[in-house]
Structure 1
């Protein structure tokens, strides 16, 4: 007799949502992570349920602006060139996905799943009693130059065609919404239906607490290996060997470390992201504000003002890049005026596939192993619906939305 119907590997937003959905369905579930729930990459995000974010990082503008992005002294992108040289196929695949036809395909895949994001997360928010953590003031995106705004015009038109609600506004209305902004404003967009989270880790903590209250099991240990067989899968978690009907790999950027899961053979890379917290400065903005040219968000949250974003292509093992933190602090001052010294800083590891799409589906070598990682910038937004899909697959059900485009064995370039 198997110990569990489902073992969930990783307790970020995707893993915790998967565990809670599966337990709500009546499955016996073990959730495993060497760290407390929500304390990894899910901890440091921009607190935004970005249901409007259907345009991939891969887009033709990357190719047009690549020299400026890579070598400019004031760029939101940083590349460790030694890491890039060690991973040339990933880098080339990422750039191949910036071609117009591929970028359009990726955007349509994201738009399809994004349309289900709230249906996946809202029941978990209610289940966890976390409604007080949700804010409904929308999100503001700001462009400082005509060139940058025109470069993003195609993305706005795509969103409009997908029925994503937003209002294009001018500088005066943008400042009426956010009078604390100091940078030049050419134009702005208010995604008025977007929501934000007061404290992402608290959300995951409450989801985890509800999972336990429903009878779910928790083990604070790392899963190092899975071994699939005809009727199930053996999981090595800490010192224990556990027998399960299914296992789901939701360990984000660390998913490749689970031997035998199939994840170790996939082109999973890492976009390192940073944030700074300024305690006592929450009043600077009243909703998440994204500065397009700066490549980061300013967000009011429980701990204060969070400046979160930028992209660093580097390995998991590289030390904190102080230059990235200095960049965020400098651009934050340009955006909001003088800021005090930050009270804390953070580095996280966004799990990123070269086509900017998550991996959601059964492992090619075994239908007993499910993959659910690679959500890049969208883990918080898509965690709930991914968890619901995982529960469907663990029950042997067909999800009520197409997921073939996220299959582990798909084409990546």
Structure 2
């Protein structure tokens, strides 16, 4: 029996920041790579993020305070969280697993695991920024997080202590010190944290586009088709695109974000991948309101100065991935942004995206239970832009048969056990 000939060393499914980072790392390391996505690279969740390279973001959404604050979060008009009850009832295992991971011991484990991976983030991303000649898209001016109430700040003290324990460097700021840095803030300020050395991206889709250009200059191929299923065997993987095309490769990487579970035969369809829908609004003529990303803790969003204006990005909506946009979330961001800066007028753009989320707030990175020829890399939740580079480096090391330099034992797909 003849062995099927592989067309590529690696097929990457999904061309967001995770997928394009994987493709560029693998191509520059000598692999022959094809990346597949029916949508323009970087046009999905990557495009609409808060754009922080958040190496300080080791604290998960899961938190012990959820148990006491959930009723308020679900019912208050001023809450950054919205929840579709019917969706929750249809996905009880995911919801129960999420709540179980809000226990203090689990949160400590999650924080440590994310903290360890985040120490590798710059080493994974910076070489790609240099390869893509995208240094002009990166701003190094720290990141500010502010609380407008004593109670809000005190409720975050345990989280901030865990950040320090993970080596995150930040300065605690008084109200006057916050206003000296960002004088346009109009909300009450109780306390602020300034995360030293934090950076942000002024145009994440342009970053991905430049990475794609460099990837193709190195010989990589981009196919504007989606992969709908795959069939792994001992020598490689056969991928099937939406138009029926068959493509062979030695390995296949699933980096399709919140839609990764829709690709049959990868093993991703058996994992508890959920979606945190997030929103942003953009004020084109107000980019100078802040000089760095400013997160308003109680309101659950960032204000970020972008190439195209001031982006207000955040909130969490637990709902079906294909549900219609929630007008209340957009109205919330507009209302709160006016509280933060005064009357900004109507936003010039609105956006809805889908953060891929596992119930333990940790990404899935590693060989699939279906086959070691299939490598899974998704579920990065709020920090995909931050972890894209290091994830791509890890996937490349796995595809080359190497042991990753970063410990990925906490992110193994097998941690969820058998999923029926």
TM interval, shorter chain, is: over 0.9
Secondary structure of 1:51's match?
coil
1:219 aligned residue: 223
Structure-2 separation of matches of 1:245 and 1:282:
46
2:317 aligned residue: 312
The alpha carbon displacement at 1:230 in A equals: 1.1
Secondary structure of 1:208's match?
helix
Q: TM-score, structure 1 length as denominator?
A: 0.99
1:403 aligned residue: 408
2:136 aligned with 1:132: yes
Asked if 1 retains the 8 angstrom alpha-carbon contact of 2:271 and 2:416, the reply is no
1:324-343 map, 5 Å: 324-343=329-348
2:398 to 393, 405, 413: 393
Structure-1 separation of matches of 2:302 and 2:250:
41
1:167-246 map, 5 Å: 167-239=171-243, 240-246=245-251
CA-based RMSD of the aligned residues comes to 1.0
1:266 to 271, 289, 303: 271
1:151 to 125, 148, 155: 155
1:289 aligned residue: 294
2:307 aligned with 1:302: yes
1:123 aligned residue: 127
Secondary structure of 1:123's match?
helix
Structure-2 separation of matches of 1:399 and 1:304:
39
Structure-1 separation of matches of 2:167 and 2:252:
36
Q: Where does structure 1 differ by over 4 angstroms across 4 or more consecutive aligned residues?
A: none
Structure-2 separation of matches of 1:3 and 1:237:
14
2:46 aligned residue: 42
Asked if 1 retains the 8 angstrom alpha-carbon contact of 2:293 and 2:304, the reply is yes
2:115 aligned residue: 111
The alpha carbon displacement at 1:70 in A equals: 1.1
1:252 to 254, 257, 267: 257
2:65 aligned with 1:70: no
The alpha carbon displacement at 1:411 in A equals: 3.6
2:59 aligned with 1:60: no
Asked if 1 retains the 8 angstrom alpha-carbon contact of 2:133 and 2:210, the reply is yes
Asked if 1 retains the 8 angstrom alpha-carbon contact of 2:273 and 2:379, the reply is yes
2:96 aligned with 1:92: yes
2:145 aligned with 1:141: yes
The alpha carbon displacement at 1:363 in A equals: 0.2
1:20-31 map, 5 Å: 20-31=24-35
Secondary structure of 1:366's match?
coil
Structure-1 separation of matches of 2:28 and 2:241:
23
Secondary structure of 2:310's match?
strand
The alpha carbon displacement at 1:333 in A equals: 0.5
The alpha carbon displacement at 1:318 in A equals: 0.5
Secondary structure of 1:55's match?
coil
Structure-2 separation of matches of 1:82 and 1:238:
31
The alpha carbon displacement at 1:74 in A equals: 1.0
1:33 aligned residue: 37
1:17 aligned residue: 21
TM-superposition CA deviations, 1:143-181 (whole Å, max 9, x none): 011111011111111111222111001000000000000
1:82 aligned residue: 86
TM-superposition CA deviations, 1:35-87 (whole Å, max 9, x none): 00000010000010000000000011111211111112210000011111111
Q: TM-score, structure 2 length as denominator?
A: 0.97
Structure-1 separation of matches of 2:339 and 2:100:
34
Gaps of 5+ in 2: none
* 97-106 or 62-71, larger mean C-alpha shift: 62-71
The alpha carbon displacement at 1:238 in A equals: 3.3
